[in-house]
Structure 1
Amino acid sequence: MEPIRLAVNGRTDIGQVREENEDSIRCHSSENHPFAYVVVADGMGGYSGGAMASNIAADTLQDQLDKLLNATFLSCSPQQQQLMLRAALVDAIGVANRKILDKKQSHPQFSHMGTTLVSAVIWQDFLVVAHIGDSRAYLWNNYGLQPLTKDHSVVQQMIDSGQLTREQAQSSQVRNHITRALGVAEKAEATINSWTLKESALLLLCSDGLTEYLCDHEIQRVMATYRPALECVYHFIDDANQRGGRDNISAGIIEFCNRADAVVEFSGNPVTLKPKQKGDITIRKTQR
């Protein structure tokens, strides 16, 4: 089997309307090991609170993930490594949530801040995606585009219950209302999925400043068209800005290259860290 090759690229842009960029993005690809990650956080809260929250989340995940490839990890079996990778994401999300809550308590002017989060980590051919809120992850390969996340949002709940179609959701008055975020509750309700990658693919992580303007079909067109593939992030930013750029826009891509010719296979069922409770808080991202 050909060796796995990974490459990353990411960009965040203030957009055409906002006075501050409240998105944060972190990207990394190891020079010595088949390990890469992208983290995208979309903050909310205004008065620099959103930017602070997203930076806390992105920095915390970056710090935790950068420590992962130590001697202990490298000496473990593949199955143990997969468990350690998932555990690292769970721990990092919990730490980030705590840091944001602590900052809000010590700085009342940031009492409304919080952030969405989506992170994808690849080790060898194992992919883990964690998300909370409406920042998304997609996988594209020769079989097309596959959403890897489902929004924690009011409109997604309405779609699931049959109250709205996906087309109606695009223009809904509550399309920016999310039901989960970091920094709003004592426990972070992130969802974690994992897959085994069996063929070359591109992973896109993005904030809703991109998906506000580009539907899944248009995202697939960009990812299938432009090469080098990592330059798709620039096309995504430009497309969203040309269509209005009302929000900050962030896009990160991981390029996974593997000669094996098979479909992407699920290696596990979705896991929610904390069951959804009745009366969950709804966060209006338009507060930003």
Structure 2
Amino acid sequence: MNKILRMIKEIKSFAIGNNLYADIGNAQTIGTREKQDDSFGTCIKPYGVQAIVADGIGGYVNGKLASQITVETFLDEFDKRDVTDNLSYFFQKTAILSNERIRDEFGETKGGTTVVSVVLKDDKMFWTSVGDSNIAVFRKDRLIMVNRKENVKNWLENQYYAGYARREEVLDGKSDKRLVNYLGYDGFRKADEGDRPILLKKKDRVLLYSDGVEILGQIGLENILKKRMSAQKMADAIIQSVVTSKKIKKDNATIVVLKIK
């Protein structure tokens, strides 16, 4: 039976191994944009659980199609067979495949998307990211960012610490959020990933979200995640807070929450 789950609102808890269980919640809003370019999904298999969020680049012709291609590719490749013996290979191979499919679909037209994905196996979380979407773990009332955004600001900082950029260049680019890596990019080479898996604990919350959620800030997210509620109610509360935010301009916002029990 195919257990790929898309746009679900309720799911019972499921075992992830080592006496840990999880439940999943998800929600999204279009914000003040004219179209929804985010896509997301989850896949539950006996060998592990995958979650994914992709944020299509709205400035290009069809960000939604790019994000859909990526989500479908990651879910389908995970669903085919047990890939958990070498998740680094799976992440890199699937990112390259997604990039190729986007390039083939769009041809000379520019199209692209970010992606963040995690795989939970036993008590471990493996992750990968391309672009500027977010993976975070909420633990002991604190939100801990897992991945680093692949934008000009962070790239300049990396260049500075490696001795290839001057301090003045870093300061000039400190607010430059342009992407230096994304799927659909003709210069794409590899996805970012963790050097080692993150050990999960009971009461952890794993979050994957697009940058539209960031208007709540770290404290805003932590205040919601501290509450005792299901993963779905957490996801709904976060997106509702985005909707009711006083910010005039709101990006597409999508979140997947995995509550560890």
TM-score range, shorter-chain basis?
Answer: 0.7 to 0.9
Instruction: State the one-letter code of the partner of 1:138.
Output: A
The runs of 4+ residues in structure 1 deviating greater than 6 Å are none
Alpha carbons of 1:246 and 1:198: their partners in 2 closer, same or farther (altered >3 Å)?
closer
Conserved? CA contact 1:37–1:254, under 8 Å: no
Does the C-alpha gap of structure 1 residues 34 and 235 become closer, same or farther in structure 2, counting only changes over 3 Å? farther
Change (3 A) 1:217 1:43: same
1:11 maps to 27
- Cα RMSD of the aligned pairs, angstroms, is 2.6
- Show structure 1 runs of 5+ residues with no match: 74-80, 258-288
Distance 1:9 1:143, change over 3 A: closer
Structure 2: runs of 5 or more not aligned: 1-16, 161-166
Cα deviation for residue 204 of structure 1 reads 0.2
Aligned to 1:261: none
Task: Give 2:33's aligned amino acid.
Answer: R
When normalised by structure 2's length, the TM-score is: 0.79
Alignment deviations for residues 237-284 of structure 1 (CA, whole Å, 9 cap, x no partner): 111122236211000011223xxxxxxxxxxxxxxxxxxxxxxxxxxx
Q: CA 1:53/1:218 → structure 2, altered by over 3 Å: closer, same or farther?
A: same
* Alpha-carbon distance in structure 2 between the residues aligned to 1:61 and 1:205: 15
- Contact 1:181/1:189, CA 8 A, preserved across alignment: no
Counterpart selection for 1:51 from 58, 61, 64: 64
Counterpart AA for 2:240? D
What percentage of aligned pairs have identical amino acids?
23
Q: TM-score, normalised by structure 1?
A: 0.72
Deviation at 1:142, TM superposition (A): 2.0
Query: Cα gap change, 1:92/1:159 in structure 2, threshold over 3 Å: closer, same or farther?
Result: same
CA–CA distance in structure 1, aligned partners of residues 47 and 219 of structure 2: 30
The structure 1 residue matched to 2:223, chosen from 221, 224, 228, is: 221
Report how many aligned residue pairs link the two structures. Answer: 232
How much does 1:188 deviate? Answer: 3.7
- What is aligned with 1:190? 191
The answer to whether the 8 A contact 2:69-2:101 is kept is: yes
- Return the letter of the residue paired with 1:86: S
Residues 218 and 68 of structure 1, relative CA distance in 2, 3 Å threshold? farther
Equivalent of 1:22 in 29, 37, 42: 37
The match for 1:141 is: 139
Q: In the alignment, is residue 252 of structure 1 matched against residue 256 of structure 2? A: yes
Change (3 A) 1:47 1:141: closer
SS in structure 1 at match of 2:226:
helix
